[in-house]
Every structure is written in structure tokens, then in C-alpha cells.
Amino acid sequence: MLLGIDHLVIAVADPDDAADQLRDRLGLESGGGGRHEGLGTYNRLVWLGDSYLELIGVDNRELAAASWIGMPTLHALDSGGGLATWAVATDAIEADLARLRDTGSDLADPTSGERLRPDGRIVRWRLASPPTLSVDEPPFLIEHDTSAAEWTPAERGGTRRRRLPARAPGPPGRRRRPDAPRLHANPRRPLPPVARRRRGT
């Protein structure tokens, strides 16, 4: 079944630097990360409970331009960085894919992926992606291999190092703190609906 938002893919120039900024300014620790072999990208993960931010960068532009995750990452970076795409978690990808296709979804067949961590352990998953990934397109589905690295609670970072003050948000138009971290997300651009896209539209 579909479980909810799995993660947001945030394109940044330097994932390590972005992770350090989130740690130093918001108290969010990163946990995990590594290279996507053959895809031209690498990442750091910031856990937020059962969801996470994927801070993704490009280390080989030629490979990235030809890969499913590299293309939306490059597009976002060339536009200043920020949200590149997003994923919905599933624990039964074949069943969910069949159900969505019955309603007109053009998600592709599931493919397997993996990421090599710096410690040599492998993170594995399966995913089903629409023909094009971007902030204006439907998300991809992902089913994680819970027997592989990174999916035990002990391995997830994402805990706050310090309590953040509980303050109400400021009024519209309030100026941004000059030292606030820049993730380059566009607050005026609405997130795309989770609803599946029908063929021919």
C-alpha cells in the first residue's frame, strides 16, 4: 500500500555543505548518504521521522544528464537549486503500480537501485518512475529493502540536537534572517498533486 511521502529530493551545489548548514543552524543531523554509481549524483540524507530530505548534488554532469535522477537534479541546479522531485513510499510496489495503472497512470515498470555508502555498505530499493521527473510532474514510487543498510532506527540520524523555540510564524512579508540556510525552494510554486497523471495529458 502507499504509505505517504517518502522523501523530497533537494538539489544543492554541495550536499556536505548543505548538511552542515542544517546541522549548525537548525540542529538537524544528517545520517547516511553516498554515491549513485553510474548516475553522476551523490547525496546526504536528513531524517525527519519516517521521511527524509535527500540533499543531492552532481559529481559527473555527463552521467547525470543521461540518468533518471540526474536530469531533474541538473534542471533544478541550473535554475538555482531546490526541489527537484519527490517520492511516495510503498511496501508493495507491484500491487500499487497495477492499481495506479488501472486508473491511467503511466508509471514505468519497477527497477532496482542501490547506493554505495562511504563505509562500504549498500542501500537498496525498487522504484517506479513517470516518464519525466520534475517539481511539476507526479512523484515516483519507492520501496526500500529493509534488510539492507540504513533502515534500522539506530542508523537514522535526523534527530534534533537542540530544542527549537516554539514561535508562531511571522506575518506575511516578514524579512528572511540573513543567516537562515538557503535551500532555494520557491515558496510560491505549489507542490504537484499526488494524483496520478492520465495517459495523453
The helix (H) or strand (E) run that includes residue 110 is: none
Beta carbons within 8 Å of 140's beta carbon, 6+ residues apart: 85, 87, 88, 107, 127, 128, 129, 130, 133
For the chain, which residues make up each domain, given as ranges? 2-152
E-state strands within the chain? 2-11, 30-36, 41-48, 51-58, 82-90, 111-116, 122-128, 140-144
In tens, the pLDDT along 138-192 reads: 899 999 988 887 776 666 544 433 333 444 343 333 344 444 444 444 434 444 4
Cβ–Cβ < 8 Å for 127, 85: no
**Is 0.95 surpassed by the pTM of this model?**
no
Q: Say whether domain 2-152 belongs to CATH 3.20.20.70.
A: no
